[in-house]
């Protein structure tokens, strides 16, 4: 008989997590979604609830969790600056205590465990594009530090559990990801610009708009996460997952205006502190060890994302 792997996805009711749960169920796995619903929503996984291989549990990963699983994807953590800065101490606890608990669980069950790390570990990078060997330029005491340093410490814990306890680890450094199911009020640039354009409000460009980001469509990213989890045990990462297509925030604003056909204007707002000036993944490692690269360019991925926000907004009014 075929044995369905039991897979735990923490943060499974979030934006990326919900797509991951869906893809894992499609592959025949049993999926346990654990979430405290801080930024995740039940509606993100409502369409999965009828599947007998899907289970959802309200739980905060800063507390121990005793379940029997074969694989763990550790995604629990708010990802947008306004959410992770809302309760910064809880953000650090989620990354650090959450990692300790999930690594303890992996150690006991001998499960493979993947960490959703981030390009934020590179801080405001002095190396461009960013390669995994770069140690980063992170302010340890700024407003973004709860997230950046929490994720850096989680990486340390992953490698120490690997060296000290032989836990099978995978560390993905995820770059800016977008798509349907992003929270309309999460303050990230893609959601802000699209919602503003659709409502005919001014687009808020922070600073001079010359800072860059590289945006990966969610289905490409999820494919990369699954390939990484299923790679050979000696592939621990850290490994960059992102789309190397790099854009200034002004270019993004103009693209969103064009694709939505909106008449919104563009207004400038102050640049938040420690906002990285440029960001672009070097994905040679993902290409060579996972045979992975993104397939969906920004303009293509923005279309279904805009449609999703159009529906969300019409439901809000």
Give catalytic residues, as residue numbers. 147
Indicate whether 129 belongs to the interface with ligand NAD (CB under 6 A). no
Other beta carbons less than 10 A from residue 49's beta carbon: 11
Site for ligand UDP in 233-262 (CB under 6 A): 249
Q: Find the shortest distance in angstroms from Cβ 54 to ligand NAD.
A: 15
Chain position whose Cβ is nearest to ligand UDP: 104
CB contact set of 225 (below 8 Å; sequence gap of 6+): 16, 20, 73, 114, 116, 172, 241
- Alpha-carbon distance 63 to 26, whole Å? 30
Site for ligand UDP in 133-192 (CB under 6 A): 176, 188-189, 192
* Residue of 72, 78, 213, 260 interacting with ligand NAD (CB under 6 A): 78
CA distances from 286 to 16, 240, 267, 281, 293 (A): 19, 7, 38, 10, 7
Indicate whether 16 belongs to the interface with ligand NAD (CB under 6 A). yes
* Residue of 5, 88, 104, 245 interacting with ligand UDP (CB under 6 A): 104
Which residue, 107 or 310, has its beta carbon nearer to ligand UDP? 107
Largest pairwise CA distance in the chain: 61
Which residue, 187 or 304, has its beta carbon nearer to ligand UDP? 187
Strand partners, 204: 267
The pair of structure tokens assigned to 164 is 């000290």
* Residues forming the site for ligand UDP (CB under 6 A): 64-66, 80-81, 100-101, 104-105, 107-108, 176, 188-189, 192, 204-206, 211, 213, 249, 271-272, 275
């Amino acid at each position: 008989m075929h044995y369905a792997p039991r897979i735990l996805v923490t943060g499974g009711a979030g934006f990326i997590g919900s797509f991951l749960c869906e893809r894992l169920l499609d592959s025949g796995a049993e999926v346990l979604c654990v979430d405290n619903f801080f930024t995740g929503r039940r509606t993100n996984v409502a369409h999965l609830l009828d599947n007998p291989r899907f289970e959802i549990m309200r739980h905060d990963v800063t507390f121990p969790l005793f379940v029997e699983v074969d694989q763990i994807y550790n995604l629990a953590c708010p990802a947008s600056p306004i959410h992770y800065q809302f309760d910064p101490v809880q953000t650090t606890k989620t990354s650090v205590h959450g990692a300790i608990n999930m690594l303890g669980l992996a150690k006991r069950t001998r499960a493979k465990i993947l960490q959703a790390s981030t390009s934020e570990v590179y801080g405001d990078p002095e190396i461009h594009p960013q390669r995994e060997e770069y140690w980063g330029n992170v302010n340890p005491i700024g407003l973004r530090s709860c997230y950046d340093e929490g994720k850096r410490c989680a990486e340390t814990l992953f490698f120490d559990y690997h060296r000290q306890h032989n836990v099978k680890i995978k560390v993905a450094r995820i770059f800016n990801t977008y798509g349907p199911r992003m929270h309309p009020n999460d303050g990230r640039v893609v959601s802000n610009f699209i919602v503003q354009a659709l409502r005919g409000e001014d687009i808020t460009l922070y600073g001079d708009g010359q800072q860059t980001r590289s945006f990966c469509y969610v289905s490409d990213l999820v494919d990369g996460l699954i390939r990484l989890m299923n790679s050979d045990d000696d592939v621990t990462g850290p490994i960059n997952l992102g789309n190397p297509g790099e854009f200034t925030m002004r270019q993004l604003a103009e693209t969103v205006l064009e694709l939505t056909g909106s008449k919104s204007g563009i207004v400038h707002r102050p640049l938040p502190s420690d906002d990285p000036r440029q960001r672009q993944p070097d994905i040679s490692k993902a290409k060579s060890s996972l045979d992975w690269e993104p397939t969906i360019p920004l303009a293509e991925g923005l279309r279904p994302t805009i449609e999703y926000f159009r529906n969300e907004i019409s439901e809000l009014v």
